[in-house]
Structure 1
Amino acid sequence: MVARDYWRPLYHLSPTANWMNDPNGFCYFQGCYHLFYQHHPYSPLWDNMHWGHFRSRDLVTWEDLPIALAPGNDYDRDGCFSGSAMEKDGKLYLMYTGNVWTGPDRDKDLAQVQCLAVSGDGVFFDKWEGNPVIAQAPEGENIHPNHFRDPKVWKHGDDYYCVLGSRTLEHRGQIVLYKSADMMNWTYLGVAAGSEENGGYMWECPDLFEMGGRDVLVLSPQGVKPEGDKYHNLHQAGYMMGKLDYESGKFEHGPFKMLDYGFDFYAPQTMEDPEGRRILIAWMAMWESAMPEQARQWAGAMTLPRQLVMEEGKLRCRPVRELSRLRRGETAYENVVVKGETELDGVTGDCFEMELLLDVSEADRAGIKLRVGEASQEETVLTYNKEEGKLILDRNRSGQGPGGIRKAPVEPDGGLLRLHLFVDRSSVEVFVQDGEKVMTARIYPDERSKGVSFFAEGSMKIVRLQKWDLERSVGNPAPETNDATRLA
């Protein structure tokens, strides 16, 4: 039933069956990319967390591997929560949060500790006999003793460092920092950064790395209130740029910025690949959002792998170039003038990539309708509104599932709007102006809703359009390739 479900993505990662959420342990080990994830293998609902596991040689074609971690020890009997991976001495170490429920209230009655698991082959893991390696939150400081999770490990110099998500006793989100010489014995360094006004009550899934001479803290704050067009999802995901003082443990930083302006983006995690690229994957869903696929015995998916790039002091997010290997059957147009609404031969489908260069200088409103169905009256609409200076993603008529509108501020370059779209069976990802902004949404249209149309109030010119159908890439192992071919 699950394998045949129409809404299952063809080139986005989703569970073989049952529940998926946060990406974990994203890394490169023994010639392969590894992506672990929060997984409940017994139902399409969130419950006792295991670590599911995918592996790929090229970030495009993935194979499903055995469950890497399962709860069952005294320190993790109620869940192997989120964490990260680090290669050390030729072995792969997973550092994760062990969770135990201590009472009926799952927001208050919990004990969280940090644990290790080790593997020689990157597939089968043994939990460290000395677990937990961090047995409790630091005492004597304003750190909540129960909410203490999601370790992200990296190496700096000869030592290992780890950031953890936390909150204060007054429920303000914060990040704490640890240091270790061997990953087994950890020393608390302090609170690296904390919530200010409207910063949320809990900071989850922290990830700290250096890029372009700056340190970047990626995090997922819970409880941030809407401000204008921002922060309308239940929880947020974004980043702060600054500098981590490795002696004091303090991270001095600028304002929080969103990584995705859409509906479905949470718990992003990054890794550095052999080329030195910083690659990000996030959970393509949102807590407490309706997930129609649950009735079909699966839930959740991942975003495409995205490369983070620092340009002119700004962080951009672009789909990794390897995805071009999925392209088949190109359709191209140039210099098409749109007044009113227009369809183009060959521009249709439910599994495709499309690059657009649009001249919107003569239009008050202009855009594109995706997954259009005449019989079902379905459409997912992307509109540039000149007066507002915003790109608007509207899924109020996208089929089953939640509706809503999200807006992103966009400045066309000399009147030119660049869009890079990825449409899959139940999702759409929109990269804007070469990755200045991204908007992601899960949608659940009828399988007959495959139309695409362009519209303008005034006049819009499609300066250039390239559209490709995309092949299935999930579920089969990638062919053997040498490194030069794999990263070409």
Structure 2
Amino acid sequence: MTITNVKHSKQIDRAMEAIEEEKKGLDQAQYRLNYHFMAPANWINDPNGLIQHNGLYHLFYQHHPYSVDWGPMHWGHATSSDLINWQHESVALAPSEEYDYEEGNEDIGCFSGSAVSNGDEIALIYTGHVIGKSPKEVQAAAFSKDGVHFNKAEKNPVIKSPPEGLTEDFRDPKVWKHNGSWYMVVGSSINGNGAIPLYKSKDLLEWTYMGVALNGDAAQGDMWECPDLFPIGDKHMLVVSPMNMTDGKNIIMVGEMDYEKGKFIPESVKEIDEGDDFYAAQTFEDERGRRILIAWMDTWKTDFPTKDEGWAGAMTIPRQVVLRDDQKVKLLPVAEIEDLRENHTSYEPLHLSSNELVDINLQETLQHSYEIMINFNLTEANSSGRAGLQLRTSADGTERTEIYLNVKTKELIVDTTLSGEKSHKSIRKAKVDVENNLSLRIFVDTCSLEVCTTDGETWITQRIYPDPKSMGINVFTESTEVLIEEIQTWTLKKVID
């Protein structure tokens, strides 16, 4: 083993010892999630290095093993055979070299990146970050034959500085293969607008700069993090996480990729998820040909109440990216989610008159982790009214999370202003294409809520922190009547430790 990787191995051993110590007592944490991925303990943010290699799914992620706060970034690692049941593995990357480590400096680390299958090996391409150095961010590589233990390349950094004219913010490389060559996009900015420089390589170590594949505009934030460019159908998609974009967190563009000119030409753009708690989405193609997306189910702009319990951060459920008619982007919960279902209940159609509230969880069958499918028939709806659900409701109704349709504005709304003392207070809205009905799938976990239209067109993801005793579920109307044609519910079993 080289001197580089002896140091790296020692840092990983140290991190693993800390994790083993820090995770003691987490079984008493009231807000630990049951089916959403979390780190064994302490801080987690961006997913990175998503891949299926030799049949096994790998989820790498930004991790601080020593604290519940963001700090020197490591790559945590977990594996799964089904995208649902995850096994924690050894930390994959730890800061250890001059391009990702500096003694006494807390703003350092192995920042986000991606993973690719390179023959029998898994290759990780990541950003080495050391604040105070110039350049502060470079790109590096590490390789593993067993998929668990990674050696940093002796040629690191493989890209030593950002291209001329781009900002020193230069991170989160995403790598893919096209026609026998490797390509990489990196998050950056030019003149205060987001930008993605493009590189090409034959061996993942020597990279040639091809120019900027796309510049953003002033409305799309001042720096693009976590870029992800990939083919789908006859098109390409680009996912970016804009910094300082007004009411924006993660956008997805559909367009054409000109590999000869090194340019991506966008044709449409949309927000992936309208909730507060969704950032740093990354995708990968699995061995079944599905394009799967996972994001960090938190945001830098909200608090992390679970820090008091010894952990912070989680991932969304995996979602399959589907492109319809070459333009319409839809995200569907992966089919494997249905394997979590237990205790199915199907309700008879229910007609609600104006200003009516009906409890559909009188026996408290649904408590902290469950799925609801519901279909509202709106043919009799009054245009000035609203209809929806109240979840995680207290006995007196003062604590609740509301999900409803504003019939007049045709907006799906998630209101967390009464979701609990520790919850972030907000009202998130998303335009929905409804005429005579609205069909929703709703995924509730201990402290999370993911709401989507059944067609996958619209998502709203929120973290909520209600009192554990708040388990009521009501359907309700205000100033309108409505026919609820379908309500199906399932409890979702615990699969995450």
Among candidates 30, 53, 71, match of residue 54 of structure 2: 30
Match of 2:166 among 130, 135, 143: 143
Distance 1:65 1:433 in 2: 34
Change (3 A) 1:337 1:110: farther
Residues 14, 300 of structure 1: 8 Å contact kept: yes
1:161 aligned partner: 183
> Which runs of structure 2 are paired with 1:248-259 in the superposition (5 Å)?
248-259=261-272
RMSD: 1.3
Q: Which residue of 2 aligns with 1:7?
A: 31
The aligned counterpart of 1:481 is none
**What is the rounded CA distance, in whole Å, between the counterparts of 1:124 and 1:460 in structure 2?**
57
CA-CA distance at 1:255 after TM superposition: 4.1
Moved more, 336-345 or 450-459: 336-345
Structure 1 counterpart of 2:357: 341
Aligned-pair CA distance for 1:449: 0.6
Question: Given residue 450 of structure 1, which amino acid in structure 2 is its aligned partner?
Answer: M
Code of the residue aligned with 1:382 in structure 2: it is I
Whole-Å separation in 1 of the counterparts to 2:166 and 2:493: 48
The Cα of 1:288 is off from its aligned counterpart by: 3.1
Residue range with higher mean Cα deviation, 343-352 or 147-156: 343-352
- Which residue number corresponds to residue 444 of structure 1? 465
Aligned to 1:359: 377
Counterpart in the other structure of 1:89 = 119
* Distance in 2 separating the partners of 1:64 and 1:49: 17
What is residue 198 of structure 1 aligned with on the other side?
219
Q: Percent identity of the aligned residues?
A: 44
**Which of 147, 166, 170 is the equivalent residue of 1:122?**
147
- Other-structure match for 2:104: none
TM-score (norm 2): 0.90
Q: 1:43 aligns with which of 56, 67, 87?
A: 67
Q: Deviations over 1:319-364 (max 9, x none)?
A: 1001111111101113111231111245632110111111123232
Aligned to 2:338, the other structure's residue is in SS state: helix
Paired AA for residue 112 in structure 1 = E
| Residue among 247, 260, 272 paired with 2:285 | 272
Paired with 2:397 and 2:63, the residues of 1 have a C-alpha distance of 34
Deviates more, 1:253-262 or 1:388-397: 253-262
- Residues 389 and 474, structure 2, Cα contact 8 Å, conserved in 1: yes
Q: Does 1:101 align with 2:131?
A: yes
- Per-residue CA distance 1:180-208 (angstroms, 9 max, x = gap): 01111100000011121312110000001
The reply on whether 1:59 has 2:83 as its aligned counterpart is yes
Is residue 2:275 matched to residue 1:215?
A: no
**Alpha-carbon deviation of 1:225?**
2.0
Q: Which amino acid aligns with 1:100?
A: V
Q: Which runs of 4+ in 1 moved over 4 A?
A: none
Correspondence 1:305 to 2:326: no
Identify the residue that residue 476 of structure 2 maps to in structure 1.
Answer: 455
SS at match of 1:295: helix
- Cα-to-partner distance string for 1:217-272 (whole Å, 9 max, x where unaligned): 0110111124xxxx3xxxx1011111111011111113431000111000000010
**Contact 1:279-1:305 at 8 Å conserved across structures:** yes
Looking at structure 1, the residues matched to 267 and 324 of structure 2 have their Cα atoms a distance apart, in angstroms, of 17
2:246 to 203, 219, 225: 225
Structure-2 residue corresponding to 1:314: 328
Deviation at 1:3, TM superposition (A): 2.6
- Cα deviation, residue 375, structure 1: 4.9
Identify which range, 269-278 or 337-346, moves more after superposition. Answer: 337-346
Unmatched 5+ stretches in structure 1 = 104-108, 476-488
The answer to whether the Cα contact below 8 Å between 2:58 and 2:78 also exists between their aligned partners in 1 is yes
Question: One-letter code of the match for 1:359?
Answer: N
Alignment partner of 1:243 out of 252, 256, 259 = 256
Unpaired runs of 5+ residues, structure 2, are 1-24, 102-107
2: CA distance, partners of 1:440 / 1:224: 18
Comparing 343-352 with 375-384, greater Cα deviation is found at 343-352
Specify the alignment match of 2:274 in structure 1: 261
Q: RCO (CA 8 Å, sep 6+): is it higher in 1 or 2? A: 1
Hey, which of these two has a bigger chunk of helix by percent?
Answer: 2
How far residue 411 of structure 1 moved from its aligned partner, in angstroms, is: 2.1
CA contact (8 A) 1:291 1:401 kept: no
Q: Would the aligned equivalents of 2:345 and 2:489 in 1 still touch at CA under 8 Å?
A: yes
Indicate the residue corresponding to 1:408 in structure 2: 430
Q: Helix, strand or coil for the counterpart of 1:3? A: helix
Alignment of 1:365-380 (within 5 A): 365-375=386-396, 377-380=398-401
Once residues 149 and 55 of structure 2 are traced to their aligned partners in structure 1, the CA distance between those partners, rounded to angstroms, is 16
Give the conservation status (yes or no) of the 8 Å contact 2:43–2:69. yes
For residues 285-296 of structure 1, the aligned pairs below 5 Å read 285-296=298-309
The letter for the 1-side match of 2:392 is: R
User: Contact conserved, 1:333 with 1:465, CA < 8 A, in 2?
Assistant: yes
SS at match of 1:198: helix
Q: Please say which of residues 112-121 and 288-297 is displaced more in the overlay.
A: 288-297
Q: Supply the distance in 2 between the matched residues of 1:455 and 1:218 (Cα, whole angstroms).
A: 37
How far apart are 1:81 and its partner, in Å?
Answer: 0.1
Where 2:495 maps in the other structure, the secondary structure is: coil
